[in-house]
Chain A
Amino acid sequence: EAGVAQSPRYKIIEKRQSVAFWCNPISGHATLYWYQQILGQGPKLLIQFQNNGVVDDSQLPKDRFSAERLKGVDSTLKIQPAKLEDSAVYLCASSSPMGTAYEQYFGPGTRLTVT
């Protein structure tokens, strides 16, 4: 079974530029998550999709961040314009509800450096 795929793996941009990240979840996983992981911290949820609908985006800075999952499979996270504090690893995860404990499967992440 193929895992969660993300691209690019690394990205360096200047502040005020825009950037986009792509995620392809595990086949059949209806739920997709985007997390921001700042160096030395645990992942923080940015947005959760169930199929192509948004379930939770309460921690997404909507003035600069946007995400979509148009066909309920792949997803794109965009930052426009980027700030220095956006430097982090952006993790995508997917899950399929089974039983009472939902396991999330994480991709390798995209490391963003904003200069």
Chain B
Amino acid sequence: GNSVTQMEGPVTLSEEAFLTINCTYTATGYPSLFWYVQYPGEGLQLLLKATKADDKGSNKGFEATYRKETTSFHLEKGSVQVSDSAVYFCALRNYGQNFVFGPGTRLSVLP
């Protein structure tokens, strides 16, 4: 079946540090890949997405590239801010099927 694996958290960084959160997946076919972010006390928000191999999703300084050869969709940001502190979920969805979410990675950014 389909599954998503994420690096375990929590991840603690200083402001302006470089961020990488690893995500790998197992799926049949050609799923679409997503990163969702959940700020404290709020629901999940779509951060970025990629629908086919080699696509790069980007938003708010975050980027992730769909790598089919390594079945990965790692999230990166060049310079994190305190306001980026949240839980980040990697997810996939195959056509006609429902979303499968990873367990989430908590990021804390210290001033």
Interface presence of A61 (CB below 8 A): no
Q: Mark A30-53, 1 if CB is under 8 A from B, else 0.
A: 000100000011111100100000
- By secondary structure, the B interface counts as strand
Task: Kindly list 4 other residue pairs between chains A and B, CB separation below 8 angstroms, not including A43-B99, A101-B51, A104-B46.
Answer: A91-B43, A91-B44, A103-B34, A104-B99
Task: List residues of chain A with CB within 8 A of the CB of B102.
Answer: 42
Q: Report yes or no: B49 in contact with A101, Cβ–Cβ below 8 A.
A: yes
List CB contacts (< 8 Å) of B19-72 with chain A.
Answer: 32, 34, 36, 41-46, 49, 51
Nearest residue, chain B, Cβ from A45: B98
Give chain B's interface residues, CB within 8 Å of chain A.
Answer: 4, 32, 34, 36, 41-46, 49, 51, 89, 91, 93, 95, 98-99, 101-104
Give the docked Cα–Cα distance between A91 and B43 (Å).
Answer: 7
- Residues of A within 8 Å of B, CB-based: how many? 24
Tell me which of B4, B43, B49, B103 has the highest count of chain A C-beta atoms within 10 A of its own C-beta. Answer: B43
User: Is A25 an interface residue when CB atoms closer than 8 A count as contact?
Assistant: no
In the complex, which residue of chain B has the Cβ closest to the Cβ of A95?
A: B99
Q: How far is the CB of B42 from chain A (nearest CB, A)?
A: 6
B14 to chain A minimum Cβ distance, whole angstroms, is: 24
The smallest C-beta distance from B33 to any residue of chain A, in angstroms, reads: 9
**6 nearest A-B residue pairs (beta carbon):** A42-B101, A106-B43, A101-B32, A106-B44, A101-B51, A108-B43
**Contact call A101/B103, Cβ cutoff below 8 A:** no
Closest to A3 in B: B43
Closest to B102 in A: A42
* Contacting pair A41 B51 (CB below 8 A): no
Residues of A within 8 A of B36 (CB): 106
Asked whether, in the complex, the Cβ of B51 is within 8 Å of the Cβ of A100, the reply is yes
Q: Which residues of A contact B44 (CB under 8 A)?
A: 43, 91, 93, 106
> A58 — nearest CB in chain B belongs to which residue?
B98
